[in-house]
Amino acid sequence: MTAEQAAQQAVASPSVHRLKATRPVTGDRVTIAYRRLGDAGHGSFGVVIKAELLQGGSGVVAIKRTKQDRRFKNRELQIMCAVDHPNVVKLRLFWLEASPDDEDETFLYLVLEFVPQTLYRVYRSFVKRGERVPELLVQLYSYQLLRALSYLHSLGICHRDVKPHNLMCDPDSGRLVLIDFGSAKVLKPDEANVAYTCSRFYRAPELILGATLYTDLWALGCVLAELLAGQVFFPGRDGIDQLVEIVKVLGSPTVREIKAMHPSYQNPDFLLVDPVPFSSLLPHASPAALDLLASLLVYTPRFRPSAAQALSHPFFDDLRRGNLRPLSSAANGSLAVGAERQSQGWGLVMPNGKKVKAPLFDFSAQELSVRPDLVRILVPSHARAALLAGPEHIDVERFEPVDLAPLRLWLE
């Protein structure tokens, strides 16, 4: 039997689902066939299954099903169709399907690239073995999350639900992608937002106080602290207790900080609590990690760095330098340069012994234009030739930023 005959036989199987779907970029309608492989996740949003595409594409995918109100456009779908970044999960196909039980109910199906593990599962695997998450992995994953956020923010998109369960990792390549844009929104200055968003453990203090201006950087700081601590950093039991947990670490906010978080907050009285140094809570973290964390987890939102600014922090210098070192020769004590190091000039090996294959420095002109003053820090010397030879021919030494305003996403 030929490979083509085998594929045709697989598609003809009664366990295979066949339907029409839409490609997000072109809008083309195509016939697809897929075989369900198992469950991949579930939550208030709906369910996610793992499947194998047999027609209209190939390989293993994740298919997410959510309820769709026919009266409104789906914001998650609109955003997913508009974004394209190596650290944002890729939408491959989508379709709508009427509910067999309720004629007024419709389901939206999103066919997404499959990435095997959540960041939560990755770090918990270390904790269960009684180990700390290696700081190199903390650097690798938080760096890629920052890249995703910087890109989204340049489009005017706020994710609003950054947490380890919404970050998928590939342990073979070291790649991380941000998923679940069900809470994401294009923020408009004249449009009201709700304060109650973002999962509780990662909710910024100003949101707890009722503010409606969002920042993903507080949640990023919570994820960073969680990786360093091996557990949720602010484990509040409810909204108020969440603020109590924050105050236990940061100390009581000053009147000025309260006004910065929410100018019209009516109950500015807090019990006086002294802050606890991050170094005493995370004694094994490096000074660079503690410095970045201290810049992110602050009460005043405008004092937190942007995602692009955080990317330039010295905490990520190890990634820019790489860690493939000359190998010592046991025979004569001389140094032998590894062939991989010679051929590529840079490399990064994860604690599992596998080389990082995820692209870390393939910045677009759009990404670099967020903070053009940081370009020489963000793009290490060993990555510049590849950028120059890439599709945008970016010359770091003569970089001219692009206008980001026309690239901002506007949704109806």
Distances (CA, A) of 285 to 10, 264, 315, 339, 409: 51, 37, 11, 33, 38
> Which is catalytic among the residues 161, 238, 291, 362?
161
By CB atoms closer than 10 A (0-12, 13-18, 19+), residue 5 is exposed
Q: What are phi and psi of 31, to 5 degrees?
A: -85, 130
Cα of 356 vs its chain's centroid, Å: 17
180: nearest Cα among 48, 71, 359 = 48
Q: What distance separates the 2 farthest-apart alpha carbons in the chain? A: 78
Dihedral sign for Cα atoms in the order 358, 384, 25, 198:
positive
If one counts every other C-beta atom within 10 angstroms of the C-beta of residue 251, the result is: 16
Q: Which two tokens stand for residue 157?
A: 């998109």
Respond yes or no: is residue 161 known to be catalytic: yes
Half-sphere exposure of 183 (CA within 13 A, CB side): 20
The residues that are catalytic are 161
